[in-house]
Amino acid sequence: MKHEHSHQRSTQDATEQKIPAVPLALEGWSILHQMFRLRWSAWKALTAPARQEVTTEAATLFKEWAQEEAGHSGFFSMLGHKGDLMVLHFRRSFDDLNDAELRLAHTKLAEFLEPTTSYLSVVELGLYESSVRLYASLKEKGLQPYTQEWDQAVAAEMTRLRQTMASRLWPDIPPRRYLCFYPMDKKRGEEKNWYQVDITERQKMMAEHGMIGRRYAGHVTQIISGSVGFDDWEWGVDLFADDPLVFKKLVYEMRFDEASAMYGLFGTFYVGLHFPATELGALLNGRAPAFVQK
């Protein structure tokens, strides 16, 4: 009986291994965060008319970017030594991001901007729960992973999900006063390795992780972006809120769930104050830019 039980377990394990380990995901906006330090000494050396000329040109471009439907940008006055200005671009493609980056580089303002860092990613909706449910359903129908029938069924489901989740794939930059951005990884090469955990266990942990975020609905807007193969970390997290204390409470509470406590690794945090293009002059003249709701 013991041998029979071991054989059944081995057969079951072999069957379970056929379930794809990689969860499905949907992608939306291409995202570029640009952080700059202003060269204040050079800026202050300009005459008042010269400063106004630079400000007007940049504000005109920023206003254009804020209103584009095929992609838009947000502007943030940064807190702390990590920079003075953050420009957040949402675009349809990396080509469009490159265009925005080059257009900014060719403004007169760029002569007074020193890049401190940047981050490249794409809006990503991880579909752990949908993936596990879909994989199980296809297996029950006798389909084998990565066969033509399997791939067609997955493609059909992805098309359906892409339509129902369009607003989350192509969101506006939330009209909230504060932004907290940070990159993160799931740990590898240590005693605990996220990428060696069974997909069903990962799905359970991510469900628990998501429940914490849902409790903050209405207080914070979260946009997750994937950066595997694009930048130095695996994900970027943008949190938008009208009360910055929400960032502290949410991130701290999430540290206690298993996905974060066992596997989460966090990068540098950047916090900024959201402002409209019309307030760029205030920033350049040494005043905190006002926030005007759309």
DSSP for residue 18 = T
- Single out the catalytic residue among 182, 216, 263, 270: 182
- Give the separation between CA 105 and CA 108, rounded to whole angstroms: 8
Q: Rg of the chain's alpha carbons, rounded to an integer?
A: 23
Tokens found for residue 150:
């399997």
DSSP structure class, residue 112: G
The residues, ordered by sequence, that sit 6+ positions from 244 with a Cβ below 8 Å of its Cβ are 178, 180, 271
Find all residues with CB under 8 Å of 253, minimum gap 6, and list them. Answer: 212
Q: Which residues make Cβ contacts (< 8 Å) with residue 57, sequence separation at least 6?
A: 107, 108, 109
Catalytic residue flag (residue 182): yes
Q: Which of 162, 171, 290, 167 is nearest to 240 (CA)?
A: 171
DSSP line for 146-198: TSHHHHHHHHHHHHHHHHHTHHHHSPPPP--SEEEEEEEEE--SSSS-GGGS-
Active site residues: 182
